[in-house]
């Protein structure tokens, strides 16, 4: 607390000076300047080389309390108060006796003060050196702008150890930026980046090498910018480590300054004192900031994900790679943000190529962002490895080593020393055509306008013989595929991938080994076994070549519809379509591999599967059908439910397969003129009569299948064995049901016998499903509920009570 008398004393002492304050550089205490467009007359140095006051910024309503070159057109700012934060019109700076310079906002709130040493301030003085000084009683300096530097050092200025320069944020934003010049206590003058929040200093990218570990006296302790424009570090033993050799222009004719520029380059400039001329670079450090910053933390010279290229003036140019853009449009030296998010949640290795692409950058690297190093890699393998990896943002290939890198990328540089290529992932603007997903779009379609989609795989042939042949070929195909237990695709069926991978013919030709290993042939095309490289794993797939489609008019449209409708279904009881090929004449479908083959082989094989397993499978099929019938916005009717078309995955989950291998039809529900589809024995009777075809045809087929699952007998299988009474499974089952002969149905299956209540329920559901009158059959929802035991099952009537056949 200062005594009021002191103020008064100083006031009288200084009174004579006040009239000449503007001409000799002296400013009385009590003087002030108010920031305003008109009246901000600065305090000038005697020579008028420098001015102190409010410098109007480009944004006309903002002012920076600063010191600048007054005489040259480019009124370069060399010092600023308030950590570079500008103030608004009406703000005021005043010299007070106790706090020195005090900056207040228009309401009088103090924003900053120069906090002088414990001494009363008598007056201020704008020195011709560019140093604004506060002088106390007895001509003692109590504060100097030179001792509180910002981003610039001027001749005669000395930085003691512990001293710091901060770069600006940007050329025009004077807030403290990311770069620092510090004279460390160990004697080194260093440049480093820092963390903006806590000011934590990251690794240095320039050292003056004025550190001596063994001899304290040899350490640097001052950075001196002398009158003639030399800058050196002075050591305790009076050694001068000159930072830049070479001639220096006479200080009488030239202004000199050394500024830690906003881009992190510490630069000494000179400028002729005549008003014309430019600031010319005399020297700068470091030589190449793009490659100079190597610390693990921090951004590097440019922002995150940015690429730094050093230009001819040794300044960094920053640019965002393809697919990235500036986070702050006004700061091109700042961070770049990707225009997509790459989430592992829905990242499908197999279809990543449809969504993402790689741009190639020559001699570009982000050396601090590695997470994988792969040796002996070709360009192709390096590219694919990144493309199929949901973590990978970019891969760098140098001398057959492939480094995978993750976001955010730091220390990006474009430099010939990199001597490698970068493959940078970006998301394509036009992902492959994604029609409305039938299963995830809002179910606002009314029942009446539901599009009926008929899906079948094998046309019911007129003669039984052809049918048997077809079915046989079909079974053979799957038998061959699924007997081969190679690597399995363990992708969970519930994975919500919505994007099919579009394969090229070449890719599938390679996957299927040139289509040499033909596994089988049917009316629908040829099936090949294939192995696809997906990321680091090799996955077995079934590749179906739909050659027959070539003859279909409008096949393009139909193929697309099929792929889109079936490909976008997601249910754990459906086989997943991995992708397709639609190239020229080629139409192919790629399915995930089902390791446990067909339900037909499982059910009718040597070993009778357990009742528990069978009931689980039946329920799975019912749920899959329910999904197709009711849980998609358009109804999908499979039309060919039979044990050959149910596959079993690794965990013996039932997976309905074989969608759209044959013609896909879209008709109105009212239309009836559809050729018979399905397989004899499983085909609902209405197919034979001009009756509307509805989802109930699948219910019928499911009923037959359910009875087969209960009994482990083929519906039409016993024709050859001579067991006439059991030849038509459905008739025999109903007979047994009427006679209450469950034991005959399941034979010596003790597990089933012990669970007779459930077996009975399943049986009744099966009989309900095979009712001749479609309206009598329950919906798949009802079926599922009955199988689950959620609703009671009534005693079913005879399947053929209405005697439609006559």
Ligand X SMILES: *[C@@H]1O[C@H](CO)[C@@H](O)[C@H](O)[C@H]1NC(C)=O
Angle, to 10 degrees, between the axis of helix 729-738 and the axis of helix 756-769? 130
Site for ligand X, residues 728 to 757, rule: CB under 6 A? none
230 contacts ligand X (rule: CB under 6 A): yes
Q: Toward ligand X, which CB reaches closer, 85 or 727?
A: 85
Should residue 147 be labelled a site residue for ligand X when binding is judged by CB under 6 A? no
Q: Which helix (H) or strand (E) holds 667?
A: strand 664-668
Please select the residue that binds ligand X; options are 109, 198, 276, 775, rule is CB under 6 A.
Answer: 276
784 binds ligand X (CB under 6 A): no
Considering the rule CB under 6 A, would residue 319 count as an interface residue with ligand X?
A: yes
- Binding span for ligand X by CB under 6 A among 31-39, 523-531, 645-653, 753-761: 31-39
Binding ligand X (rule: CB under 6 A), the pick from 171, 209, 228, 504 is 228
According to DSSP, residue 453 is labeled E
Nearer to ligand X, 398 or 406 (CB): 398
Which residue, 131 or 268, has its beta carbon nearer to ligand X? Answer: 131
* Contacting residue, 18, 48, 218, 776, with ligand X by CB under 6 A: 218
In the complex, the smallest distance separating the C-beta of residue 610 from ligand X, rounded to whole angstroms, is 51
For the chain, helix, strand, coil in percent to 5 are 25, 30, 45
The minimum distance between CB 169 and ligand X, in angstroms, equals 4
Question: Taking CB under 6 A as the rule, does residue 221 contact ligand X?
Answer: no
Select the span of 36-44, 475-483, 524-532, 534-542 touching ligand X (CB under 6 A): 36-44
* Beta bridge partners of residue 87, listed in sequence order: 63
DSSP lists the bridge partners of residue 421 as 362, 397
Query: If binding is defined by CB under 6 A, does position 242 make contact with ligand X?
Result: yes
Q: Least distance in Å: CB of 154 to ligand X?
A: 10
Q: Is there a contact between 89 and 106 (Cβ–Cβ < 8 Å)? A: yes
- Could you give the strand order of the β-sheet that contains 132-136, starting from the edge strand earlier in sequence? 26-28, 121-126, 132-136, 141-144
What are residue 213's phi and psi, to 5 degrees? -70, -30
Q: Which of 151, 640, 658, 749 is catalytic?
A: 640
State the minimum distance, in angstroms, from the CB of residue 262 to ligand X. 11
At residue 403, the 3 state secondary structure works out as: strand
Which residue lies nearer to ligand X by CB, 319 or 800? 319
How far apart, in whole angstroms, are the C-alpha atoms of residue 412 and residue 547?
50
Question: How many alpha carbons fall within 13 Å on the CB side of residue 482?
Answer: 26
Decide if residue 222 touches ligand X (CB under 6 A).
no
Tell me the backbone φ, ψ of residue 100, rounded to 5 degrees. Answer: 70, -130
Using the rule CB under 6 A, is 37 a contact of ligand X? yes
Q: Quick check: 61 binds ligand X (CB under 6 A)? A: no
Q: Is 322 in the site for ligand X (CB under 6 A)?
A: yes
Q: How far is the CB of 391 from ligand X (least distance, A)?
A: 19
DSSP-derived pairing of the beta strands 518-522 and 26-28 = unpaired
41 is a site residue for ligand X (CB under 6 A): no
The smaller minimum CB distance to ligand X, of residues 239 and 613, is found at: 239
The answer to whether residue 743 is catalytic is no
The piece of 105-113, 125-133, 555-563, 692-700 that touches ligand X (CB under 6 A) is 125-133
CA–CA dist 677, 641 (Å, integer): 11
Longest dimension (CA), the chain: 134
Is 169 a binder of ligand X (CB under 6 A)? yes
Number of chain positions touching ligand X (CB under 6 A): 41
Rg (CA), the chain: 42
**Dihedral (CA of 70, 71, 75, 76) sign:** negative
SS3 of residue 697 by DSSP: helix
Among 226, 451, 613, 760, binds ligand X (CB under 6 A): 226
DSSP sequence for 627-658: HHHHSSSSEEE----SGGGEEE-TT--EEE--
DSSP element (H, E) containing 745: helix 742-746
Segment interacting with ligand X (CB under 6 A) among 236-244, 472-480, 546-554, 656-664: 236-244
Q: Give the shortest CB-164-to-ligand X separation in angstroms.
A: 19
List the Cα angle 46/52/58 in 5-degree steps. Answer: 135
Q: Does 329 help bind ligand X (rule: CB under 6 A)?
A: no
**How near is the Cβ of 472 to ligand X at its closest, in Å?**
49
What residues have CB less than 8 Å from 135, skipping those under 6 apart? 121, 122, 123, 124, 125, 141, 142
Rounded distance between C-alpha atoms, residue 778 and residue 626, angstroms: 11
Show contacts with ligand X in window 409-438 (CB under 6 A): 414, 426-427, 429
Closest to ligand X by CB, 36 vs 653, is 36
Confirm or reject binding of residue 483 to ligand X (CB under 6 A).
Answer: no
- Residue 244: left if φ>0, alpha if ψ -120 to 50, beta else—which one? beta
Which residues are part of the catalytic machinery? 640
Residues that bind ligand X (CB under 6 A): 36-38, 86, 125, 127, 129, 131, 133, 156, 169, 173, 175, 215, 217-218, 226-228, 230, 232, 237, 240, 242, 276-278, 307, 309, 319, 322-323, 339-340, 361, 364, 399, 414, 426-427, 429
């Amino acid at each position: 607390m200062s005594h009021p008398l002191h103020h008064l004393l100083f006031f009288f002492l200084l009174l004579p000076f006040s009239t000449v304050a503007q001409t000799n550089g002296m400013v009385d205490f009590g003087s002030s300047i108010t920031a305003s467009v008109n009246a901000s007359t600065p305090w000038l140095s005697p020579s008028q080389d420098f001015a102190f006051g409010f410098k109007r910024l480009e944004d006309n309503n903002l002012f920076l309390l600063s010191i600048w070159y007054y005489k040259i057109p480019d009124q370069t700012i060399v010092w600023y108060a308030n950590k570079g934060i500008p103030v608004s019109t009406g703000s005021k700076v005043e010299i007070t006796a106790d706090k020195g310079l005090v900056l207040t906002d228009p309401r009088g709130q103090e924003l900053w003060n120069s906090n002088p040493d414990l001494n009363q301030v008598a007056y201020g003085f704008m020195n011709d050196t560019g140093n604004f000084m506060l002088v106390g009683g007895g001509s003692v300096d109590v504060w100097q702008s030179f001792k509180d530097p910002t981003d610039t050092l001027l001749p005669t200025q000395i930085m003691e150890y512990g001293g710091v320069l901060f770069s600006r944020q940007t050329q025009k934003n004077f807030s403290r930026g990311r770069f620092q010049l510090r004279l460390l206590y160990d004697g080194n003058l260093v440049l480093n980046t820092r963390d903006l929040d806590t000011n934590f200093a990251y690794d240095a990218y320039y050292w003056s090498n004025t550190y001596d570990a063994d001899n304290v006296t040899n350490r640097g302790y001052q950075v001196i910018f002398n009158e003639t424009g030399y800058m050196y570090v002075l050591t305790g033993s009076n050694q001068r480590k000159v930072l830049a050799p070479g001639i220096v222009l006479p200080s009488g004719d030239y202004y000199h300054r050394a500024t830690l520029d906003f881009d992190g380059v510490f630069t000494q400039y000179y400028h002729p004192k005549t008003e014309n001329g430019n600031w010319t670079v005399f020297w700068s450090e470091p030589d190449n900031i793009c490659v100079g910053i190597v610390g693990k933390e921090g951004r590097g010279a440019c922002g995150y994900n940015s690429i730094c290229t050093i230009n001819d003036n040794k300044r960094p140019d920053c640019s965002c790679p393809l697919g990235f853009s500036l986070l702050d449009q006004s700061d091109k030296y700042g961070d770049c943000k990707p225009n997509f998010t790459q989430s592992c949640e829905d990242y499908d290795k197999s279809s990543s190529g449809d969504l993402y692409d790689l741009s190639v950058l020559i001699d570009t690297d982000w050396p601090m962002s590695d997470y994988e190093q792969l040796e002996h890699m070709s360009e192709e393998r390096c590219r694919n490895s990144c493309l199929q990896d949901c973590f990978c943002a970019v891969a760098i290939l140098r001398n057959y080593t492939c480094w995978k890198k993750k976001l955010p990328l730091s220390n990006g540089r474009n430099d010939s020393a990199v001597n490698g290529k970068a493959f940078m992932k970006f998301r394509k603007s036009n992902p492959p055509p994604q029609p409305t997903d039938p299963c995830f779009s809002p179910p606002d379609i009314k029942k009446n306008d539901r599009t009926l989609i008929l899906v079948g795989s094998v046309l019911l042939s007129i003669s039984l013989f052809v049918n048997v042949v077809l079915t046989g070929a079909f079974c053979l195909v799957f038998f061959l595929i699924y007997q081969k237990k190679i690597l399995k695709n363990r992708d969970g069926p519930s994975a919500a991938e919505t994007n099919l991978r579009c394969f090229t013919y070449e890719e599938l030709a390679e996957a299927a080994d040139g289509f040499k290993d033909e596994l089988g042939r049917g009316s629908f095309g040829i099936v090949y076994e294939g192995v696809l490289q997906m990321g680091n794993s090799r996955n077995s797939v079934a590749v179906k070549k739909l050659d027959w489609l070539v003859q279909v008019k409008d096949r393009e449209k139909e193929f697309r519809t099929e792929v889109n409708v079936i490909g976008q279904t997601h249910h754990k009881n459906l086989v997943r379509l991995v992708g397709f090929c639609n190239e020229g004449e080629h139409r192919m479908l790629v399915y995930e591999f089902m390791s446990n083959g067909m339900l037909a082989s499982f059910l009718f094989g040597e070993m009778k599967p357990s009742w528990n397993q069978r009931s689980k499978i039946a329920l799975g099929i019912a749920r899959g059908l329910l999904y197709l019938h009711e849980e998609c916005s358009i109804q999908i009717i499979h039309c060919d439910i039979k044990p050959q078309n149910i596959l079993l995955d690794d965990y013996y989950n039932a997976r309905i397969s074989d969608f759209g291998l044959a013609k896909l039809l879209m008709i109105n529900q009212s239309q009836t003129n559809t050729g018979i589809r399905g397989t004899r024995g499983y085909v609902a009777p209405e197919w034979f009569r001009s009756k509307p075809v509805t989802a109930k045809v699948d219910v019928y087929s499911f009923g037959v299948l359910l009875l087969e699952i209960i009994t482990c007998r083929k519906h039409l299988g016993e024709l050859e064995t001579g067991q006439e009474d059991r030849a038509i499974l459905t008739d025999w089952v109903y007979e047994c049901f009427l006679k209450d002969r469950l034991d005959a149905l399941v034979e010596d299956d003790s597990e089933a016998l012990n669970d007779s209540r459930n077996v009975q329920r399943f049986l009744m559901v099966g009989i309900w499903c095979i009712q001749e009158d479609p309206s009598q059959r329950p919906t798949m929802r009802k079926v599922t509920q009955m199988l689950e035991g959620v609703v009671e099952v009534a005693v079913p009537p005879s399947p053929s009570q209405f005697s439609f056949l006559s």
